[in-house]
Amino acid sequence: MKITSKHLSALYDLTSEQFNAVEMHSFLNLINVIQLQLDLLKMLTGYNDVFTEILSETSQFANNIRKSEKSCFSPDNLKKYQNKIIDLINYLEKETDDEQIKKEVIAGRDILLDVFVVMDIRADELKKQLSNPGQWLSYSVAEFKSDFDRFFHAVEKNSRGRYRIIQNIANQEPNDYLVHFEVDSELDGRIVMPLIFKDVIRDLIANARKYTEPGGRIQVGILQKKNLLRFIVEDTGMGIPKKEIDRIFEYGYRASNVRHLPTMGGGFGLTKALYITVQLNGDLWIESEEYAGTKIKIEIPVPEKFVTASATRRNISFKPN
């Protein structure tokens, strides 16, 4: 089903805070991961009082992000926030005598350190987006795939051993996700896209994983043609009831067959995907069947200035019409 003008009403009624949350969706997801890890460590160790300040600061951090306060993304502020969390975890490790709990605390610290690396990268990307919302960037295919290898590693590690993300079907165990991630380009081995669209790709892959049971398959394909960028993600997950597909792009809407699942997201990944696609004069298609998976395809036109080989090797600012 191709998304048409009748589905755009999902974008018209966004409040300013919802609009900001859509734009900051990926960064907010990282804050949610941090909060979840802190809540787990609080429950695990029983040291409730020492978590009060950092949990309050985390909540305030999320509120500031929704308001697009640029100070959130300053390296100094991020480093202070991250150091407070690491200092707290180091304290817990020293104070805990139970060896099993100590192992869990150390595992939580390792996960958070990985999240902080991703957070620093996303913060840099967000600052670029805020300073130049229409900026398109050029990546080598190898660089682009390497970035998503790190993304998959972080997702896997955050599961605390509940599943693996593997690429070889011969290596797949019952609880592993089999992920195929392919990138091809007709632009001298390079991919060009706005930073915000890279966010959309990550968000939709994360959704595919979230709504697919371990043991399922996720296929991701990106094709860079001379005048078009095509992205497809397809999963074997829970799918969307047919009668609800028209509503799935509404802010905060979750299909009835997945509302029972715990989630760290805000329920607006698809709202963001549609919003960004429309901004970039692109098209979006969705095919889904309940308990039989979902396929999403997005195509966006590439500015003429990127077609030449020389243009693909430098950053170019582009503002959509």
| Structural tokens at position 132 | 């130049």
Looking at residue 319, what is its pLDDT? Answer: 38
Looking at residue 313, what is its pLDDT? Answer: 37
Please state the domain count of the chain. Answer: 1
Task: Give me the residues of the chain with pLDDT under 50, please.
Answer: 309-321
**Who contacts 84 (Cβ-Cβ below 8 Å, separation ≥6)?**
54, 57
* Structural domain range at position 180: 5-317
Looking at residue 314, what is its pLDDT? Answer: 35
For position 121, which CATH number holds? 3.30.565.10
Strand 135-140 with 316-317, pairing: antiparallel
Looking at residue 165, what is its pLDDT? Answer: 96
User: What's the pLDDT tens digit per position in 93-136?
Assistant: 999 989 999 999 998 999 899 889 888 887 887 777 767 767 78
Integer Rg of the chain from CA: 20
| Structural tokens at position 98 | 């139970």
- Report which of 136, 131, 140 is spatially closest to residue 302, judged by C-alpha positions: 136
Looking at residue 146, what is its pLDDT? Answer: 92
Distances (CA, A) of 165 to 73, 155, 162, 221, 274: 30, 8, 10, 17, 27
